[in-house]
Structure 1
Amino acid sequence: MNYSKVIHRLPVPYLGDELHHSGWNSCSSCHGDPTADRRYLILPSLVSGRIYVIDTKSNPSVPSLHKVVEPEDIIQKTGLAFPHTSHCLASGDIMVSCLGDKDGNAAGSGFLLLDSEFNVKGRWEKPGNSPLFGYDFWYQPRQKTMVSSSWGAPSAFTKGFNLQHVADGLYGKHLHVYSWPDGELKQTLDLGDTGLLPLETRFLHDPSKDTGYVGCALTSNLGHRLRGGPQMIQLSLDGKRLYVTNSLFSPWDRQFYPEMVQKGSHMLQIDVDTHKGGLAVNPNFFVDFATEPDGPSLAHEMRYPGGDCTSDIWI
């Protein structure tokens, strides 16, 4: 029985990448293109700046490395570094948020475009329309709007969390509102001190709605009983299975949850009662990454092969 077991491991060629978020080369936003194929996973490396492209179709149980986009190519063509969130676009391009320049300055943040062959095309936003800080982003095509959030300067957060850096202005508290797909910065929303470190950004799944949410990390309160704290989530297409991992970013994990770094992180399933409401931890599904051959490992992002209700952008 392989249920709740690791069935394959794909090592990447380099150490120190800090694989963080992931996304597909195509998803629901490409529904009008019959040739679109949800085949490749896009894996930005937050620290090294590489972007890995993983083939999940040739052998779904044994994903393989398809291509590596090197940081030198990205920097030369865009000036961007520290890639974070990736989303596919209806055009077939892939958009990746980048959190700074090669020196870790937040002033160099912006949005990278890859073409359908995973070549660097350039920047998405118009010149002079870079965000104050970078992190996550989400676009709502029917509203002709994209919203991006703010973590901090890579020169600060890669060294671990220092509260003085917040006072020094090295962390964000803003949401950036762009015209979609034009890339013009229309508005910068100051969330104040109660909105410091706004991270994950989501719109409602109804594409006609203009309502969205953002989680602000510094002022949030999260209860937990396992090592670490809940971080990334992935909801199944039927809305009944919510998967959770509990590693945020290894330098911060070492600072706040040293036991988790020593013993590994977890992946859990939360059952969602879509009829009566309510959540419950599934006692039969628990993945402990402490026993990985090269571990213990820190698990962050997850993806369903056939799509999900967490990362797909609905149009």
Structure 2
Amino acid sequence: MAHPTIDSTFYRTAADAAAAPAEQLAYVVAFDRAAQKHDAMTVIDVDPTSDGYGRVVGWTDVPGYGGELHHFGWNACSSALKHEGHDMQGLERRYLLVPGLRTSDIHVFDTQPDPRDPTLIKTIAAKSLSQIAGYSRPHTLHCGPDGVFLTCLGGPEGNDDGPGGIALLDHATFDVLRAWETDRGPQHFHYDAWWHLNQNVLISSEWGSPSMIENGIVPELLLGQKYGHSIHFWDLAKGVHVQRVDLGAQHQMALEVRPSHDPEATWGFVGVVISTEDLSGSVWRWFRDEHQWRAEKVITIPAEPADPDLLPPALKPFAAVPPLITDIDLSVDDRFLYVSCWGTGEMKQFDVSDPANPKQLASVRLGGIVDRAPHPAMPDMPLAGGPQMVEVSRDGKRVYFTNSLYGAWDDQFYPDGVGAWMAKLDADPGGGLSIDENFFPHGEEFRGLRVHQIRLQGGDASSDSYCYS
């Protein structure tokens, strides 16, 4: 039997991914905080030679209201090559699986035949996720060799506060198969998960249970150090918990995990939102030390003093703006780390060629709780929100980000509203960032909705795992 054609966007190596044709479209989820309009999948033209550059060129509503589309991902990606030589069932990077964080429904969009007009073909009901996998509040998707791994913040219906965990979905039929874990160990809170694929290691992180996050950050829980502050290491093939690494209770909310794209590496980064000691944010490097996993803080970003009159109620007593590190992204060549400081309105670029000793190379400011730094395209328009969900192109030359974190948290830290905007930075190959003045979809272009995660056509820096060096 002939082997099915392998999708041209499944890349054997990180270098192959970087050398492939550049993205022409970006997919961005949009949601209505008031739950009066449908959430939507939007399509942004990111081809600088196009007449529609920097504009919304596609829009597909989802049924119902109040889902709050959040993180999403492809049904299949380069990790499928882990099965090269076997029947991959004609898998292709075609479908986007998009959970509603508040409703727990999962929407499946077909990006073919017209990538500018994704079609909603299926919705997986929250009840299926609950009954089959025992989870709710789906958060982050990663396409793996055995299926789609879907992290979930909550437990089954009736026990929303968990424990959370990972559901496994079929990447061809999208059916919920089962809970991935066979021995969950001590992990209760959940957030993100990714892996060192060739090392048979999955890494997961912690935010908080749904009741701790859905109405905004709870100051008493934060100051009581009750949010997640650990990362976990698992046997990927068996679903067995191997080791917990506690970053320290003061380091509240260990969120995005970004493993090296080198399939032989055993290190990566995790971002921590805030320290209860001094309101700083931090980035930690994990690494394998013989037979044990360890983590060390490699980046600290301090809070910035501020006039209390300019601060939202939650921050007035501290007279400072925390950076609030809410996303990080590692370039495909493992050379640059991008750190979103949503509170101060800053996107930072670090050289992580030596991952144990990052060096800041550049910084750009847009928005921010106090600064409200404008975009050069609209220099007289103060911006609310700040760099949040960040996505880096496969060749590392373009950095995209949006400004909304999570509806209730937006309202808490930006009580006068965050609006909606998306920005693009051009990254110098030797280090350095500049704002693309011609790229600034914002405001009514998003029809009154807020925007969150970005996925790039053909894959991006946080979508794929590579199987070959």
TM-score of the alignment, normalized to the shorter chain, above 0.5: yes
**Match among 78, 82, 104 for residue 133 of structure 2:** 78
Q: Tell me if the contact between 1:80 and 1:110 (Cα under 8 Å) persists in the aligned partners.
A: yes
Q: Tell me if the contact between 1:110 and 1:130 (Cα under 8 Å) persists in the aligned partners.
A: no
Residues 137 and 143 from structure 1, CA distance in 2 versus in 1: closer, same or farther, beyond 3 angstroms? same
**Match among 64, 75, 83 for residue 14 of structure 1:** 64
Matching residue of 2:230: 174
SS of residue matched to 1:182: coil
Residues 103 and 154 from structure 1, CA distance in 2 versus in 1: closer, same or farther, beyond 3 angstroms? farther
Residues 5 and 109 from structure 1, CA distance in 2 versus in 1: closer, same or farther, beyond 3 angstroms? same
| 1:1-315 mapped onto 2 (5 Å cutoff) | 1-31=51-81, 32=84, 33=88, 35-91=90-146, 93-101=147-155, 102-103=157-158, 105-115=160-170, 116-129=172-185, 131-167=187-223, 170-219=226-275, 220=281, 221=323, 222=341, 223-224=344-345, 225-226=366-367, 227-261=384-418, 264-274=419-429, 276-293=430-447, 295=448, 297-315=449-467
Larger strand share, 1 or 2: 2
Q: Tell me if the contact between 1:235 and 1:242 (Cα under 8 Å) persists in the aligned partners.
A: yes
Q: Tell me if the contact between 2:193 and 2:205 (Cα under 8 Å) persists in the aligned partners.
A: yes
Aligned length: 309
Return the offset for 1:283.
1.4
Give the CA RMSD over aligned residues: 1.7
- d(CA) in 1 for partners of 2:199, 2:161: 28
- d(CA) in 2 for partners of 1:121, 1:189: 29
Larger Cα-atom Rg: 2
SS of residue matched to 2:101: coil
Deviations 1:250-269 (A, max 9, x none): 111111123344xx221111
- d(CA) in 1 for partners of 2:267, 2:101: 29
Give TM-score scaled by structure 1 length. 0.93
Structure 1 ranges of 4+ moved more than 6 A: none
Matching residue of 2:355: none
Structure 2 spans left out of the alignment, 5+ residues: 1-50, 276-280, 282-322, 324-340, 346-365, 368-383
Residues 12 and 213 from structure 1, CA distance in 2 versus in 1: closer, same or farther, beyond 3 angstroms? same
- d(CA) in 1 for partners of 2:187, 2:160: 12
Greater shift, 4-13 or 225-234, is seen at: 225-234
Give TM-score scaled by structure 2 length. 0.63
Q: Tell me if the contact between 1:104 and 1:154 (Cα under 8 Å) persists in the aligned partners.
A: no
Structure 1 spans left out of the alignment, 5+ residues: none
* Percent identical residues: 38
- d(CA) in 2 for partners of 1:272, 1:260: 30
- d(CA) in 1 for partners of 2:242, 2:183: 13
Return the offset for 1:104.
5.9
SS of residue matched to 1:302: strand
